[in-house]
A and B are shown apart, each in its own frame.
Chain A
Amino acid sequence: MVSHKGVDYTKILKRYDVEAQNETTPESVAKKMLPSDPTLKKVAETVLYMKFKDVGPAVTEALKTVKPLSVINDGLVVGMECVAKLYAEHIYYLPEIMMAAKTMEIGIAIAEKQIPGGRETKGLVVMHAAEGDPHDIGKNIAAVMMRSSGYSVIDMGKDVAVTDVVAEVVKSKPMLITGTALMTTTMTAFPHAAEQLRGKGINTPFMAAGGAVNRDFAESFDLGIYSEKAPQTPPIADKIKAGYDWRKIREEWDNIVGGA
């Protein structure tokens, strides 16, 4: 056996992850972002520190003195914005996002009950994985990120037929449709769905994503736009909400997602 004892690995590879690790604590980042009001701060902190069991009592307590919409927007959502910032700075990771989002959703469900007619979200998104494709973990992560960013999501699941996607879009009139595919022969469902939607006069952007999909394919059919990874979905949706159509999303894509 060739001995690896005493090998100077710096001559072979460079551990950029270790060298570049962010030593900042969640507390120091959140300190600048958390609300000053102690009641709302307590609500925001339950999300920031992913305290499932504490969020209910904190929200219930806050609702005694604060309007429900404010509990959501100035407490729960602010907590989630802190989490997003920590994720962007590589202090928090996906599990923290998932747990914080779940905590926030518990809180929102309690507060929403006190808003007549329910809470208005930023928009509705229909999400699915293509027919014949059993892999949907990317779609599930994107759905959590969309909900955390204030959108309503109809998650149609995996292995969804084109006809079902079209029917759901006609029925629910979303601002964005997303489809994920891991195979070259299942992603062809997306242009078929888009064509049928165009035939019905629907011009809603159709985001194609997943391991088999690339930007060239996603932009090869009318309505098609691309997302390379789950965190790119909310900023693209924000632009659609701001009035961008699918053509403008394509033109501005690099700027929206922060690079090609």
Chain B
Amino acid sequence: MSVTRYTKMAYSSADEMVFGTAKSPVSYGFGIKVGAGRVIPELNYAPRPGSEKDPARLAKEYVDYISKDVLERAVTVGFPDVQLETEWVSQMGTPKMAIPVVEGQKAICEKYHEEYGINCAVRHTIPDQREAGEEGLRTGMKGHHAYPEALFKAAEVACENGADVFSVETMGGKELSDYATTNGDVVAFLFGVGYLGSIDMEYVWKEFVNICKKNKTIAGGDTNCAGANTAMFMAGGYLDNDVQRTYSAVTRAIASARTLVAWECGASGPDKDCGYEGPIAKSIAGKPCAQEGKNCQCAHCDLQGNLMAQVCDLWSNESVEYHPEFGGSSVQCWLGSLGYEVSLMNTAIATGQEKTLRDLYMISDRSRGPEGYVLAYDNAYKIGEAIAKEGNNLYLRSRAAGITAAKLIKAGNEAKEIALTNKQKDVLVNIIKDLEALPDSEDKFFEYCDKKYSDLVPLYNKKNYGF
């Protein structure tokens, strides 16, 4: 499978982007059309503790309780579309645990589609348990658990047994992004996520796309959940004091260059909901993106709850544990929360007011924090342009994304559009200085980082990335 790098923007201007429409819409499942003029709710869930004890119990939890509850509620309230997302629990790495779930969810979607005409589909997101240490990230590294081999096996199990959309949250670069975020080292993040993480994405997604094509499954996309989301949630809100929000905003921009790689390898979208970098990736590739924000408070509290809806194609709750609530089961309650928000977006589209609603979503969070500021679609577009300009070089485009994001925040602060604490400003200035001081040569960058982080990050091993 060949890799085609993005060197041009899919959209001619930022204003062209809006929720519900993508340049390259995707159809799958039972009547689902993503990015084709309508936003679709995507409901994600976690089974109750103990349901993993045996295959029958796990399948019953996912199919007879969770999926049935969601589809029943969607019909009850009159939602025309719903997408389910099953993020596999680790036990599903065993085929006998996974297959009944995948088959069962497919069957129940078909049943409700035939009975009520509801458009529905299931995204299966498999676990990436690869470890950068003794286990290794690539096949043939002979780790005790053989996790790389298990990753591709899980992809086959998902696709062969009925997944409509396939996704993963891969772990490439995590050993460096963990170090980077806990030590405030943006160069380590650039090296781990922007560079090595992108190389790992290419390694796994070329194979995933092959597996998906063979089984007529839609290859959705990936996200840097383990890196940029870790930074974002550690940066937290106004009472948190672990990681600077200017740092996390820049890591988000760097992560967008990594996320793009799945699509460059032939995946078609929609990408993953927890990839908050979606507006940047969509601006470059024009492929549909899933997002989350205000209606994922069951799982995440972030500082851009409205803004993230601005250009989404699927709107997600991130994840909720299955349990009873006053209004029904938790999945039913959160589908209601999602579905009504989506209904508002689709009403805006139907009445020609979509750009107005998009802008209100965006403006309400534009100044709430630096991460929302860089993800505001006009700024996201500028970061996209910086990536596309250096599109053929994984290092230079990631660095360009980081520098552009940092400078946008700095300019926004100087223009009094986004307030920053003194500490946030100090960190921002250092980030710009550190990124600009790096060499323009990819080889020299690798040589510098390889030497530096071999000492500082015990789990770092260049063999994991084919060096």
Query: Measuring CB to CB, which residues of chain A are less than 8 angstroms from any residue of chain B?
Result: 1-2, 4, 7, 9, 12-13, 15-18, 20-21, 23, 87, 90, 93-95, 98-99, 131-135, 137, 140-141, 157-159, 183-188, 212, 217
Contact = CB atoms under 8 A, between A and B. Distances in A.
Interface in B321-380: 321, 355-356, 359-360, 362-368
6 contacts: A94-B242, A98-B182, A134-B171, A137-B234, A185-B47, A212-B46
A17 B15 CA distance: 31
Contact of B131 (A9, A16, A159, A183): A159
Given A93-B242, A133-B90, A158-B131, A21 B49 contact: no
Contacts of B146: none
A13 B49 contact: no
B153 interface: no
Contacts of B182: 94-95, 98, 137, 140-141
A188 B421 CA distance: 41
A140 B366 CA distance: 33
B52 A93 contact: no
B89 A184 contact: yes
A134 B131 contact: yes
A86 B89 CA distance: 40
Contacts of A95: 182-185, 243
Task: Tell me whether chain A's interface is mostly helix, strand or loop, or mixed.
Answer: loop
B47 A184 contact: yes
Contacts of B243: 93-95
A15 B370 CA distance: 12
B241 A90 contact: yes
Given A134-B131, A159-B129, A185-B52, A15 B238 contact: yes
A39 to B, nearest CB: 29
Contacts of B423: 21, 93
B183 A98 contact: yes
Interface in B126-149: 127-131, 133, 145
A99 B178 contact: no
Contact of B226 (A132, A135, A157): A135
Nearest to A21: B421
Interface string B219-238: 00000001000100010011
Contacts, number: 117
Contacts of A217: 49
A184 B46 contact: yes
A157 B145 CA distance: 15
B167 to A, nearest CB: 16
Interface in B29-65: 46-52
B426 to A, nearest CB: 11
Given A17-B421, A95-B182, A1 B359 contact: yes
B245 to A, nearest CB: 8
Given A1-B359, A137-B181, A137-B230, A93 B241 contact: yes
A256 B421 CA distance: 30
B244 interface: yes
Given A12-B363, A18-B421, A137-B234, 14 more contacts: A1-B15, A9-B366, A13-B365, A13-B368, A15-B368, A90-B241, A94-B184, A132-B90, A134-B174, A134-B226, A135-B226, A184-B47, A185-B49, A217-B49
B75 interface: no
Nearest to B366: A4
Nearest to B421: A21
B422 A21 contact: yes
Contacts of B131: 134, 158-159
A23 B366 CA distance: 26
B420 interface: yes
B416 to A, nearest CB: 10
A12 B89 contact: no
Contacts of B171: 134
Contacts of A99: 183
B238 A87 contact: no
A158 to B, nearest CB: 7
A122 to B, nearest CB: 23
A115 B182 CA distance: 32
B419 interface: yes
Contacts of B245: 17
Nearest to B420: A18
Contacts of B359: 1-2, 4
A12 B242 CA distance: 26
Nearest to B306: A12
B91 interface: yes
A15 B321 CA distance: 31
A184 B15 CA distance: 41
A93 B181 CA distance: 11
Nearest to A141: B182
A18 B424 CA distance: 10
A9 B367 contact: yes
Contacts of A158: 131
Given A7-B363, A15-B238, A17-B421, A185 B89 contact: yes
B74 to A, nearest CB: 23
Contacts of A90: 241
Contact of B129 (A87, A94, A132, A141): A132
Contacts of B421: 17-18, 21
Contact of B367 (A13, A94, A183, A185): A13
Given A94-B182, A94-B234, A140-B178, A183 B422 contact: no
Nearest to B237: A17
